[in-house]
Structure 1
């Protein structure tokens, strides 16, 4: 099928459907973030790239590519009133989420981290309701709460009826991630909005004066596996940059509350990816939980959301 045929086909879809599909694409890209971060940084027992280098260096490398993209597309500069929300977005997605996640996965495996960060959709939805003045039906919130309860119950069960110390870092990462997602989506909405692709690019370029020197300061001095560098390249180019092209456009088209619920699939996709990449195990109970969460996502997609 040619690209023109695809465009004609997708142009007939509603903005909500296109937003949901783009959000799902973004989540698919982000789902590899935790396994790839673990691959890049290793564990406390067998460290690879320094955690700070992985967390901040990925934004520095993505920022260099983003600068070239902005120059190549002759993107307009943000207006003065847009610099503050760009900085707030950077606080969440460039610094808070990657740093806390990077330190957490040194002490827990990717499967555990994927489950705990499964509460990210409710954090994104709640932040979106507050900042974007979006209101959802009771059914929507019941689906969101049910999906989150399933994720938390799964985390509790897999943790041996308790949470590990690294869970606090992971929950902090969730708060930063949800806040950064909504602030970025906010910049993509309205008649004078930035294009979603420009939002993440300007966020990364704005962060370069901090991310680049920090990355150079923490440049690895010991040799590491080639796979660790591969994980670092993935989280730099896809998790930190290209994935947001789809994600922010999806949030802008489909609405933050509805599209954010697609993230309920992310922990289970991350676990499935962790099996071949890291040699971790995936049992039948995990599959049952994942199917139950998927059901809540598809049901929530049909619930009413209004601005």
Structure 2
């Protein structure tokens, strides 16, 4: 593999909003299936096996593409951001949500993770030192109160271990999304995903070998289908089109589309997993979407 001073910057002057919107929307649809697919994968594998195999398989595919296309190694200044992408979206979010889904339902997790656009915006505002209006922060607090109330109601009045995992997943994924969106201005979005995966390959390969030996494995058709989706769909296709969409249409516009993700996941939870939603779940999801929509529409 050839080294170079850095990847060729992506042109940002000529943005195509509609193409970017369609790509980002495709990414949201793919992401909305992540929780149901993870639940399927967990039927045949443990959470550590699902996570490490997901990373390893996706990293091997990414490495093959990078080598085939002779993509230059990113410049040194980009590796800090790539490390955050790897820690947040490659390792942290998949592992923490897999652990959460052992005790939390898919519909419950979907509503809690509905705050992901908000946490991403908060991280990005701190990272870029951007100030938002009072309306933005008022809606942010309202959304947080709705989510906290729903989580407490679903857990019988006290937060469960799954909620802790989901909260940590929100924080690390927000950092990964924000850093990935920033890096997508300097290199193609799919390369941001690919290099983040490759950076994790040595540890993930060892982790997969250990996890598969320590956790029970009972492959079924649904568990294999779930694992393949989180590898090919969520980890590769979804992230690639998501970052590309952000590069074309802008991070703010793309993040608005992700507001539909919790509702889509609730639909998949009913259709694919046979879950029965309580009246609070869709109401909480809609309330969260309204709150986050206000934050996205408020001016800086």
**Normalising by the residue count of structure 1, what TM-score does the alignment of the two structures yield?**
0.82
User: In the TM superposition, what is the alpha-carbon distance from 1:199 to its structure 2 partner?
Assistant: 0.4
Q: 2:190 aligns with which of 185, 191, 197?
A: 197
Alpha-carbon distance in structure 2 between the residues aligned to 1:14 and 1:142: 32
Change beyond 3 A, Cα 1:301–1:174? closer
Higher deviation after alignment, 161-170 or 236-245: 161-170
Looking at structure 1, the residues matched to 245 and 139 of structure 2 have their Cα atoms a distance apart, in angstroms, of 20
Equivalent in the alignment of 2:24: 23
The within-5 A match list for 1:1-20 is 19-20=20-21
Selected match of 1:234 from 214, 224, 229: 229
- Identify the residue that residue 108 of structure 1 maps to in structure 2: 104
- Deviation digits for residues 163-212 of structure 1 (CA, Å, limit 9, x no counterpart): 222211111111111111111112112xxx01111100111112111112
Task: Please name the residue that 2:126 is paired with.
Answer: 130
Is contact 2:32–2:265 with CA below 8 Å preserved after alignment? yes
Note closer, same or farther for the CA distance 1:134–1:261 as it changes in structure 2 (3 Å cut).
farther
Match of 1:45 in 2: none
Shift of 1:300: 4.8
Q: How many residues align?
A: 285
Q: Distance in 2 between matches of 1:269 and 1:169?
A: 21
Give the aligned partner of residue 162 of structure 1: 158
Check if 1:273 corresponds to 2:274: no
Asked if structure 1 preserves the Cα contact closer than 8 Å seen for 2:133 and 2:299, the reply is yes
Q: Distance in 1 between matches of 2:133 and 2:16?
A: 19
Q: C-alpha distance in 2, partners of 1:254/1:301?
A: 15
Q: CA deviation at 1:90?
A: 0.6
Partners of 1:194 and 1:160 in 2: CA distance: 46
Q: Distance in 2 between matches of 1:56 and 1:35?
A: 18
Give the unaligned 5+ runs of structure 1: 1-12, 43-47
Match of 1:249 among 240, 244, 248: 244
Q: Which residue of 1 aligns with 2:201?
A: 208
Q: Report the equivalent of 1:4.
A: none
Give the structure 2 partner of residue 99 of structure 1. 95
Deviations 1:274-297 (A, max 9, x none): 112211113555344444444455
